[in-house]
């Protein structure tokens, strides 16, 4: 039997992306993750892997030692998914504001985690390096060891040198049959001749797209939300009506307060509760101004002037409002028009985040039912449900919040599986001609 090619995983979280790695026939031997609860889940699902828990800056030598002292070969692949919070465009406005107010340094220290990552790469000399992050990583600048500013991608090229050839490419997961509009930056480097030939021939390390928005001669149509979860049993976010544990223990949803249920019930598919119109049966005026946003001093901000009372009858609109604790008056809840927004059946789901269980989160309300996504639906959309994975530690299920966090920060394993299969195919092709 051919010996399996080996993998070192960095920033492994709870090991969701690794499902795709193992499905490709690769063997993960060593991993590293900062958070203890993620390490516990990792150990539950990958008991044979040497999981080194702790800060990569502090555990760098332990990681290198764990590999070099136990294994007599270089890793075939180093797979790394550094945290994206410092790069994510979702938080760019907030970050900018905090910098201007002196509450945050100009550089997020999490962005510099690429430095110990590349040091490990150079010390262990893998055949392949696979990095996953948000698209804005290719625009992110860090200060190197000499305090010179350089883009992360340029830093990787510089530190790996001419031995490695590589490229960073933005991927939309929907283009690979994943029912989610999740765009990620996939950065791949290799020192192997098979990989370099692939890059020279095709200009990419990625497999050909299998899907497109409308479908074509060479691609299928995007997998929609309806395709993925449309036949699941319905759920309710009203108390006592959402328990369907007999179907799947994760097919439940959080309870929604009666006031917020009114907002959701009046929100059409694809729209936001911020744009809801009058529901007074004697009025039903549909011409009230809708919500929007603007730029204030370079920061993207939601409008504060969106009306909450009907301009025709004066009734309170079913829009997200709250009683102001200072004035005692009702005011609009602050937020963009992506909040309290329903998804659309005939499109892929929007990007799942760590707040997917919250109806206030960006585009996370079910297309027709008055609730957020269930955990099981999220597992389907993220393609976790296609694999065998346990969200329990020592027989005890982890919390809903932890599951949401793990799903939101993970890479769809199907995407990683396709990428790994494409890499391995180059060796099979080379062997067939040898």
What digits encode the pLDDT tens for the residues 357-374? Answer: 899 988 999 999 999 999
Taking only the tens place, the pLDDT of each residue in 184-236 is 999 999 999 999 999 999 999 999 999 999 999 999 999 999 999 999 999 98
Query: Where along the chain do its domains lie?
Result: 6-221+411-432, 233-373
Q: Are 337 and 274 in contact (CB under 8 A)?
A: yes
DSSP 21-47: HHHTT-EEEEEEES-HHHHHHHHHH-T
pTM of the entire predicted model: 0.91
Instruction: Give 240 or 53, the one with higher predicted confidence.
Output: 53
**Distance, CA of 45 to CA of 201 (rounded, Å):** 38
Q: In whole angstroms, what is the distance from residue 290 CA to residue 321 CA?
A: 14
**DSSP per position, 359-399:** TTSTT-B-SSSSSB--HHHHHHHTTGGGS----EETTEEPP
In contact, 329 and 257? CB cutoff 8 Å: no
pLDDT of the residue at 376? 95
For residues 92 and 42, the model is more confident at 42
Residue 404 in contact with residue 355, Cβ under 8 Å?
A: yes
Percent of the chain with pLDDT over 70: 89
Q: Strand runs (DSSP E) across 34-94, as ranges?
A: 50-53, 77-80
Is 325 in a helix, a strand, or coil?
Answer: coil
**Given this model, what pLDDT does residue 82 score?**
86
Please determine, for residue 95, whether its predicted confidence score (pLDDT) is greater than 50. no
**Which alpha helices (DSSP H) does 266-308 contain, by range?**
none
Q: When comparing pLDDT for 150 and 389, which is higher?
A: 389
> What is the predicted pLDDT for the residue at 90?
39
Burial of 161 (0-12, 13-18, 19+ CB in 10 A): exposed
Topology of domain 6-221+411-432, CATH: Rossmann fold (3.40.50)
* Whole-number average pLDDT of the chain: 90
- Indicate if the pLDDT at residue 434 is higher than 50: no
Range of weakest confidence among 11-15, 112-116, 144-148, 397-401 = 144-148
Q: Alpha-carbon Rg of the chain, whole angstroms?
A: 24
pLDDT digits (tens, 9 = 90+) for 144-173: 777 777 888 899 999 999 999 999 999 999
């Amino acid at each position: 039997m051919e010996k399996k090619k080996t993998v070192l995983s960095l920033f492994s979280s709870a090991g969701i992306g690794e499902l795709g790695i193992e499905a490709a026939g690769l063997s993960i031997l060593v991993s590293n993750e900062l958070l203890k609860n993620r390490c516990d889940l990792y150990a539950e699902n990958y008991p044979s892997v040497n999981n080194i828990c702790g800060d990569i800056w502090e555990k760098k030598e332990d990681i290198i030692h764990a590999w070099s002292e136990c294994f007599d070969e270089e890793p075939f692949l180093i797979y790394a998914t550094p945290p994206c919070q410092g790069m994510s465009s979702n938080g760019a406005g907030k970050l900018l504001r905090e910098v201007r107010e002196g509450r945050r340094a100009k550089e997020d220290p999490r962005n510099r985690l690429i430095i110990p990552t590349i040091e490990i790469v150079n010390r262990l000399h893998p055949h392949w390096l696979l990095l996953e992050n948000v698209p804005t990583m290719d625009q992110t600048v860090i200060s190197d060891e000499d305090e010179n500013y350089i883009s992360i991608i340029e830093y990787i090229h510089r530190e790996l040198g001419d031995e490695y050839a590589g490229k960073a490419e933005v991927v939309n997961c929907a283009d690979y049959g994943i029912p989610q509009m999740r765009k990620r930056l996939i950065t791949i480097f290799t020192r192997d001749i098979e990989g370099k030939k692939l890059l020279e021939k095709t200009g990419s390390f990625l497999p050909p797209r299998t899907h497109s928005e409308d479908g074509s001669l060479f691609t299928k149509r995007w997998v929609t939300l309806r395709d993925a979860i449309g036949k699941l049993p319905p759920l309710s976010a009203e108390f006592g009506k959402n328990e369907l544990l007999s179907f799947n223990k994760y097919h439940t949803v959080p309870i929604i307060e009666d006031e917020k249920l009114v907002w959701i019930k009046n929100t059409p598919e694809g729209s936001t509760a911020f744009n809801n119109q009058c529901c007074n049966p004697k009025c039903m005026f549909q011409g009230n101004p809708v919500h929007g946003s603007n730029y204030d001093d370079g920061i993207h901000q939601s409008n504060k002037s969106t009306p909450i009372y009907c301009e025709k009858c004066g009734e309170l609109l079913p829009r997200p409002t709250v009683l102001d604790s200072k004035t005692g008056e009702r005011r609009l809840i602050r937020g963009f028009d992506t909040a309290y927004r329903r998804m659309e059946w005939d499109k892929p789901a929007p990007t799942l985040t760590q707040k997917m269980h919250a109806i206030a989160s960006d585009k996370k309300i079910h297309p027709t039912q008055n609730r957020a996504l269930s955990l099981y639906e999220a597992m389907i959309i993220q393609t976790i449900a296609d694999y065998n994975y346990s969200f329990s530690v020592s027989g005890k299920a982890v919390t809903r919040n932890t599951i949401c966090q793990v799903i939101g920060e993970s890479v769809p394993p199907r995407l990683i599986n396709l990428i790994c299969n494409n890499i391995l195919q180059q060796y099979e092709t080379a062997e067939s001609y040898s």
